[in-house]
Amino acid sequence: MSKRKTLHLAIFVVGSLVTLLVTLEPLDRIYVANPGVPDTPEARQIQATINRAYELMAIAARTFDVSEFPTVFVDTPDYELSDRQREAISQMLGPKAVENAGYLTAMQAYYIAWGEGATRLDKALEKAEAEHRQITADEMQETVKANGGRVPTLARQDPISKTKLKFESIEINGNKAIVRYDDGAALQEAVLVKIKGQWFIAGIKPIWVHF
């Protein structure tokens, strides 16, 4: 194995762990419902929306394509942005994008930023490989600086594998639903809103991280 491939693998492993800790971004999933989850068309559509969102996130982690995110995510006041997210949105999408930003915009900015950082890191690795050496600490620091102070990670290279989402509860109140499910890394709580007959995810947050 070449030095670049070894370093590439090491950065990928570390980057994957950082991504999981910071965002809990999971792999592509299939879902399974508990007996306590309502067996209704609404509940099934909600589960399908969450399942599709995980598919799109898994694809985005490898391609950084966020073009289909608006089919499952939406911006609403239900999701409160952190200062870090506001900064990322401003940098990636422009200051005006922050004004009405919610979960959709935050997710788009996250993967766009990841993609730009991955491109910078890959170029630095290619340069080092062409010169038959490893990337230096100074080069890595320059890459981090160019990436807005964020440590860049490469795109995921592993195949998308399917695991199960275990739905614990779905509470529907009019055009809003609160869903709790386990994705294998954490117990998550999602807020969904119904717009023109379709359910969209307005926010996801971890309740209990267990990996």
Residue 21 has pLDDT above 80, yes or no: no
User: What gap in Å lies between CA 24 and CA 52, rounded to an integer?
Assistant: 16
User: What gap in Å lies between CA 106 and CA 124, rounded to an integer?
Assistant: 27
Q: What is the DSSP string of 67-102?
A: TTGGGTB---TTSPPPHHHHHHHHHHH-THHHHT--
* pTM, rounded to two decimals: 0.81
Residue 24 has pLDDT above 60, yes or no: no
Could you tell me if 62 and 185 are in contact, meaning their C-beta atoms sit under 8 angstroms apart?
no
User: Which of the two residues, 70 and 29, has the higher pLDDT score?
Assistant: 70
User: Which of the two residues, 161 and 8, has the higher pLDDT score?
Assistant: 161
Q: In this structure, is the dihedral angle defined by the CA atoms of residues 97, 99, 105 and 106, taken in order, positive or negative?
A: positive
% of the chain at pLDDT higher than 70: 83
State the pLDDT confidence band at 163, using cuts at 50, 70 and 90: low
